[in-house]
Every structure is written in structure tokens, then in C-alpha cells.
Structure 1
Amino acid sequence: MRPLVYLCARPQQGAAAAEYESFRTAMRAEEAELERWDLVAAPLPADAVDRWRGFVVGGSPFNVTDPESTKTDIQRRVEADLARLAHEAADGRIAGLFTCYGIGVATRALGGEVTRAHPEDTGPTVVSLTAEAASDPLLGGLADRFEALTAHKEGVDTLPRGAVLLATGDACPVQAYRAGERLYATQFHPEPTGRAFTERMAVYRDDGYFAASDYDAIAARVLAASLSEPPRILRAFAQTF
């Protein structure tokens, strides 16, 4: 069986390595079952759809709503590669799960709208499933409301045409959706434990997601959050595809 792959969009190597381990642990996958490809270091291979049966995309300090004039060549290439995969997944040629930064890339590629109107503070948020999620292969078995971790400056304002809204939230109305049968996207992070998330917070402490002086207070809220449901999405993704 072809493996799955974690696609890295983070320039910070330490954070990227930890994110890969969080995905692998949540999916209960061996290293041979979840490969790694660093999109920051190398372009997406031409045979990606044949090489892997599915992929997961994590977060990044990049934002798709950054002015084009401020984007580096690397960011433009990463977004172009992920946009290509979004179309492949929406058309059913590969399974894909775009999270956090990834949801913005997939949404814009498929004709939806991403804006700075729906940011969320770093830390736990409450996610509510929609009625459509009840019969979904990945989210159908989750609790109707659960805590998840977020940290983002942009969010989905308009879904791609034909996409099915699966989860919502008070501050950010699009928390998860499905496009076609094999493309999923979540605004929240489904992979980290509370401890792993606080370690990631330390890497991005001075990147404007939160006031650096608030680190200890936010970390305490993260560590107190109940995070049983989000990893179940990743396990279901690995089993379903």
C-alpha cells in the first residue's frame, strides 16, 4: 500500500519536525506509513498523486492573504504546489487534509474566499459540528461540541462552490469542510497534544499570534483543554484513505 505523506509548509525546522511527530502520533502511524516532504526546501514532486495515497498539510507562519508583493518566492511556490494538490483531491485523485494555513490555500484554490475577518487567538476554542457532519466518514463519530486548538490571523469567509460545511465556531464560522469525497480542511489543529502546542507556541512567541508576556497564561489554558476529539479525525483519515 502506498504511504501517506506530511507536507511541511513551515520554514522553522524544529517546529516542522515536531508537527510531523504530532501528526504521526495522532494517526498512530509508523514512519514508513507517514512520509515527510518539505515543501519549503523542495518543490512538490511531479508524481505526487502516484507516489502517495493521501497527504496532510499543517500550519505555517505564511498567510494566503499576505499581499502578493510581500510574499517570497518560496511562499508563492508552496502555495502553488498546495493549490495543485487541492484540485487533485477535490477531483478525487488523492485524499487530502488541509489544516490551519492549509485551509486558506485550499479554499482560495477552489474558488472560495479567505479574509482577515475571522482570526482566532492562540489557545483552545469550541468547535460545533453541523448536521451534515453526522454522516461524514471522518467527523461522524465525534462529539457534537468539542475543544480544539487554534492560532490564526485569517479564515474562510466563503466556502468553495459545492463544499459541505462540517464544523463551525463563534469567532470563526468555518472550522471544517469537505470538498468532493476526498478533500477535507480544518481551521483548527487536529494533531497536537496540549504539551506539543505549548512547545510550538514558544517557537512563534514573537510572531504576533499573542503577546509574548501572555505565554504562561495561554499555555495554562492549552494544557487544561480537553483534546480527545480532534485526533480522531486524523485516525479516521488514515483508516478511511
Structure 2
Amino acid sequence: MKPFLLLATRAEDLPADEEYALFLRYTGLSEAQLVRRRLEAEPLGDIDLDDWSGIFVGGGPFNASDPPERKSAVQHRVEQEISVLLDEVIARDFPFFGACYGIGTVGAHEGALIDGTHREPISVVEVTRTAAGAADPLLAGLPDTFAAFVGHKEAITVLPSSATLLVRGTACPVQMFRVGRNVYATQFHPECDVEGISTRIRAYADYGYFAAGELDLTLAAVRRLPVTHTGGILRAFAERYAR
């Protein structure tokens, strides 16, 4: 089969490597079948979509809604590279799955309003499939309401007309959407488990996701409910689009 491509942006090796391991685990792919490119370390270069089964974009500390003057040169480069890639992905309706930071990249490309209105502290929340979500093959077999890991400073406030809402939340209305038939994005983290998100909590303790002195509270918050269904979404994507 043609491999899948994982585009990563985490500069810290421990959470970056753990994220890759989690994508491998939940997709069921081997390292040869899921090739990682760390965009914070080097430019993406030319990507021929015909070489790949599909593309994943992982999470990271970048925020699409940050004012331009606050974005680093690396963030500007990464955003430009992914935007150019999405031009072809959207035009061809090529299999694409963006998680957390990935929802910002697709949303920004499609003209969504992204701001801090629906930010969520790092925790576990319950989210709910829409009617379109219940009919979507990636969400088949999931309960209508399921638990998911979240933690983000921005979110989509106004969904673009090109997008179909698949999963909604209470504090954050847009939790998952699809553009066309094959381009997906989630605000929640389908690639996480308790250990993985705990690693990120410690690694990004000074990044403004929670206040000083709230480390233990945040570590406890991701254990408030068991998260058992979201990893299956990644496996369903890999199985559906492997070619």
C-alpha cells in the first residue's frame, strides 16, 4: 500500500515522539506505512499526492487566530506550506485528517471564523454526533455521545459553508467537520490516551493552557471520564483510505 503522511509541528521531542507513537497505535499503521515529517524542523518540500494514501496533521502549540506579529517565522512558513497543500487536497477531495491544530488549518483555508470564544481547558468532555455524523463512515459504530480529550485556546465560531458538522460539543460547538467527502478535521484529540495527554500537559505547562499552580488539577481533569471511542476514528480513516 501507499503510505500515509503525518505532518507534525511539535518542537519538543518527547511529546512529538509520543504523538507519532499514538498515531501509529490508533491507526494500526507501521512506521513504514505512516511517514512523519516534522515541519517545525524543516520545510515540507514538494508533495505529490499520488504518492500517498492520505494525510494526517497532528496537534501543536500554533494557533491560526494569533495576530501575524505574534507568529514566529516558523509558524508563518508552516501555515503557508499547509495552505498550499490544502489547495490541492480540497480541489481533489483527497483523504486528509487534521486533529486539533489540523482543524485550524482546514478551517482557516475554508474561511471559518476562528477565535477564542469557544476555547476549552485541557480536560475530558462529552461530545455528540450530529445526524450527518451518525451517517458518516468514520463515526459508524460510535455512540451518539462519547468522551474526548480537549484543550485549545481557539476554536471555530462560524463554520464555513463548505463544511458539514459531524460532532458538536456544549462549550465548543464545532468538534468535528468534513469538507467534501474525504477531508476531515477534529477539535478534540482522537490520537490521545491519558498518558499521552499527560505528557503534553507537563511539556506545555508554561504555554498558557492553564494557570500557574493548576498542573495537578489539569492532570486530574483528563482522568474524569474514560475515553474509549475516539481512537477508532483514526483506524476507520486509515482502513477506509489505504490504497
Pick the TM interval, shorter chain.
over 0.9
The answer to whether residue 134 in structure 2 is matched with residue 171 in structure 1 is: no
Measure, in 2, the Cα distance between the counterparts of 1:25 and 1:41: 24
Residue by residue, what CA displacement relative to the aligned partner does 1:30-87 show, whole Å, maximum 9, x if unpaired?
1111111111122223134133221111111111111101211110111112222333
The answer to whether residue 66 in structure 2 is matched with residue 29 in structure 1 is: no
Aligned residue pairs total 241
Q: Secondary structure at the match of 2:171?
A: coil
Look up the match of 2:3. Answer: 3
Unaligned runs of 5+ in 1: none
Greater RCO, CA 8 A, separation 6+: 2
RMSD: 1.4
The residue type paired with residue 163 of structure 1 is A
Residue by residue, what CA displacement relative to the aligned partner does 1:75-118 show, whole Å, maximum 9, x if unpaired?
01111122223333323353111111111111011122211111
Contact between 1:92 and 1:181, CA under 8 Å: does it hold in 2? no
Deviates more, 1:147-156 or 1:216-225: 216-225
Measure, in 1, the Cα distance between the counterparts of 2:74 and 2:159: 26
Contact between 1:195 and 1:223, CA under 8 Å: does it hold in 2? no
Deviates more, 1:9-18 or 1:22-31: 9-18
The answer to whether residue 230 in structure 2 is matched with residue 237 in structure 1 is: no
Measure, in 2, the Cα distance between the counterparts of 1:215 and 1:22: 23
Q: Secondary structure at the match of 1:213?
A: coil
Look up the match of 2:20. Answer: 20
Structure 1 residue 224, shift from structure 2 partner? 4.2
The residue type paired with residue 156 of structure 1 is I
Measure, in 1, the Cα distance between the counterparts of 2:55 and 2:158: 24
Structure 1 residue 154, shift from structure 2 partner? 0.4
Q: Secondary structure at the match of 1:138?
A: helix
Structure 1 residue 160, shift from structure 2 partner? 2.2
Contact between 2:93 and 2:180, CA under 8 Å: does it hold in 1? no
Look up the match of 2:43. Answer: 43
Unaligned runs of 5+ in 2: none
Look up the match of 2:110. Answer: 110
